[in-house]
Amino acid sequence: MSGVCAVLGAGPGVGLAVARRFAREGFAIGLAARSASRLEQEAAALGVPASVAGADLSDPEAVAAALGAIAAALGAPTVLVWNAAGVTPGPAMALSVEAFARDLALSVTGAFAAARAVYPAMRAAGGGTMLFTGGGLALNPGYGAGVASLTAGKSALRGLVHALAGELDGEGIHVGTVTIAGTVAPGTAFDPERIAERFWALHAEPREGWTVEAVVSG
């Protein structure tokens, strides 16, 4: 089982752990984040064909361009992993409308732009996987005091994933979310490598057993 896995929001925690997990299965890996230079060494260490792209993932045009660059280098992504999110900590009423909109753009609008960018090739191929990093605040938004934009973003993303899953299932495209109900930290129940296993398991599910959401809890 192999193909091209594009990880957008390839940070040092979950994003790169997922990239390493798919690389172990022989996938070529595309990495995208705001700074491409910091990804070069990580890409070289994967041991598989890899490509990096720098992009402001809150900008839909930049998202599409990054995925286009990955496709040009490696081939059309067969797996999309969206791992970007925006948060501006502080009281909700102290948060500017502009900051709120920027965070939502990174958490959910960019995710939708990424899905739209990879969809045509997946549809033409008769299948593919789109996976999104969710958060426990979408399940328990009452704990979102002080991180209103993140709570809204993860809640909207969860809704988007479930809506897309219902629409794209019939086209052979598996849409799912790994909802992380805790703080990511090495050596804990929320270790990035453990979370990456859940991404792989979701992708590897047989067609007749597809699920939309996997929750990582303590």
Residue with tokens 């809506």: 163
Residue-wise pLDDT for 168-197, tens only, equals: 999 999 999 999 999 999 999 999 999 999
Whether the per-residue pLDDT at 1 is higher than 60: the answer is no
Q: For residue 45, which amino acid is it?
A: A
Number of domains in the chain: 1
Residue-wise pLDDT for 36-81, tens only, equals: 888 999 999 999 999 999 999 999 999 999 999 999 999 999 999 9
Residue-wise pLDDT for 124-137, tens only, equals: 999 999 999 999 99
pLDDT band at 35 (very low <50, low <70, confident <90, very high): confident
For the residues 197-214, what does the mean pLDDT come to?
97
Packing angle of the helix pair 148-168, 97-104 (nearest 10 deg): 30
Contact between residue 71 and residue 121 where contact means Cβ atoms under 8 Å apart: yes
Domain that includes residue 204, residue range: 4-216
3-state secondary structure of 203: helix
43: domain CATH number is 3.40.50.720
